[in-house]
Amino acid sequence: MTSSTLARRIHATSHLTGEFVLRSGRHATEYFDKYRFESDPVLLDAIAGEMAVLVPPDTQVLAGLEMGGIPVVTALGRHTGLPCAFVRKEAKAYGTCRLAEGADIAGRRVLVVEDVVTSGGQIVLSTAELRALGADIAEALCVIDRQQGGAQALAAEGIGLRSFLTADALKAAVGG
List, as residue ranges, the binding site for 5-phospho-alpha-D-ribose 1-diphosphate.
Answer: 23, 88-89, 92, 114-122
How many angstroms separate the CA atoms of 45 and 49, rounded? 6
List the beta bridge partners of residue 100.
Answer: 87
Feature table: binding site for orotate: 118, 146
**Are 93 and 139 spatial neighbours (Cβ–Cβ below 8 Å)?**
no
- 3-state DSSP assignment of residue 38: helix
Long-range contacts formed by 24-31: CB under 8 A, 24+ apart? none
Feature table: binding site: 23, 88-89, 92, 114-122, 146
How many angstroms separate the CA atoms of 56 and 34, rounded? 24
